[in-house]
Amino acid sequence: MHPVQKEYARLAHLYDDKWRFYNEETLRMTLKEIELQPGESLLDIGCGTGRTLEALKNRFPNAVFAGVEPTQEMLQVATSRLPDSIDLKQNWAESLPFDASTFDVVVSCSMFHYIRKPVVALAEVMRVLKPGGRVVITDWCDDYLACRLYDLVLGVFNRAHFKVYKKSECYDFLNLSGFGEIKISSYKINWFWGLMTATACKLNMGVECIEERVK
């Protein structure tokens, strides 16, 4: 079993309670960047226990949602939480099981530091996004000392962990993958822990990203 799957198979039924504050703050900051019109579609990569998809479904009940998650036990929790209308698949970010130009928005929360090949994963995001579609990524930020220290510790003691990225690295990954209108903000959610949220657009033949949708 892959180390990520092994780690989250063990944590699946504890995850929401164990990391409640962190997950709520991550979700709150991510939702600020998402606006969906009726009929538009969103993919959550690394959807975990389905908390993000649940919040999005409640906020945008007439949008279409899907999620991918590599760990079966996490997906089982998500399946019990979410309506059958949400398409959940067991898969990895580097190989998304969807046709090209399927989604208006792709979102990822607290998953990017597990990705071994960021540019490959972002190329897949680019492929499944419609022209003008947006990607929203919230993750740990290596520009903060606490995250750098935790990254070093996890790198030694946790096989599931891969790497925490700086804002500049995240920008470079998005840029190399062909995204435009890249914006990355970093912030602390308490005195200790820092995150970043990146947004970018798939530009194609002059199609511009819709920054503000009708609310």
Q: What is the pTM of this model?
A: 0.91
How many whole angstroms separate alpha carbon 28 and alpha carbon 11? Answer: 22
Cα-Cα-Cα-Cα torsion 189, 191, 194, 195, nearest 10 degrees, comes to: 0
Evaluate if residue 201 carries a pLDDT over 80.
yes
Domains of the chain, CATH where assigned: 3-201 (3.40.50.150)
Amino acid at the residue 60: F
Task: Note the pLDDT tens digit of each residue in 14-66.
Answer: 888 887 888 899 999 999 999 999 999 999 999 999 999 999 999 999 999 99
How many whole angstroms separate alpha carbon 42 and alpha carbon 63? Answer: 8
Backbone angles phi, psi at 114, to 5 degrees: -95, -10
Task: Note the pLDDT tens digit of each residue in 127-166.
Answer: 999 999 999 999 999 888 778 887 788 777 777 778 889 9
